[in-house]
Amino acid sequence: MIDVIQIPTTRFTLLSYILKDQETGEALVIDPPKEIGRWLERETLNILAVINTHTHPDHTQGNLFFHGGIPILAHPAEKSFMLRAINSIYTLLSSRKTQPKIDFSLNEGNHLSLGDTTIEVIHTPGHSPGSVCLYWPGNLIAGDTVFAVGIGRSDIPGGNNTMMKQSLERILELPEDTLLWPGHFYDEKYCARLRDSRRTIVWCMNNLL
């Protein structure tokens, strides 16, 4: 069984995650915050990989902690010059360090294993070209595709309304009791059941231009 360790950071109202298999201690780190080192001191973990659900700078701040060691994975569509340039410039300005290498090999339909649990990678473009969600029965790590009380912006560079609608339609097909674990805690909402967020998601989706 997987424990979902949610890491809230007031900067950017960010929600990061550690997914930990209870029996083996194997773990994935999702969108690490700048302070990730302090959280890892509390846990005994065998970290298999770091996952960036997308590469906007607020979701990659903690990548520096894993420089030269554990693989950092993202979707190939995040490899655009614009996204890499923004990420690199922000990292240099905020830390005076260069962003560690990201392995852009995380594709739709890939499966990640933690102990006996298989986690499916779902490509959900719209907020960003290479946005991904991670799904296993009962749970969806949603990044900035969908929040507990809304959806991610698609009116920003790299965003796309048509793709966002298609991605949201896929999420709405998941079981109603799926827990949505979002990338931000807007309105102090940290997670929600899909059935409780459905009406808001549909309204937002129908009002995309």
Contact 7, 36 (CB under 8 A): yes
132: left (phi over 0), alpha (psi -120 to 50) or beta: beta
Interatomic CA distance for residues 169 and 167, integer angstroms: 5
For the chain, give the percent of residues with pLDDT over 90.
79
Check whether 110 has a pLDDT greater than 80. yes
Contact 46, 70 (CB under 8 A): no
Domains belonging to the chain, first-starting first, are 2-206 (3.60.15.10)
CA dihedral 201, 73, 55, 118 (to 10 degrees): 10
Lowest mean pLDDT among 33-47, 121-135, 138-152: 33-47
The two structure tokens encoding residue 83: 């996204």
pLDDT value of residue 99: 73
Contact 128, 83 (CB under 8 A): yes
Q: In what order do the strands lie in the sheet with 192-193?
A: 111-114, 117-123, 132-136, 139-143, 179-182, 192-193
Average pLDDT over residues 53-72: 91
Confidence of residue 54 (pLDDT cuts 50, 70, 90): very high
Average pLDDT over residues 85-101: 63
Average pLDDT over residues 187-200: 96
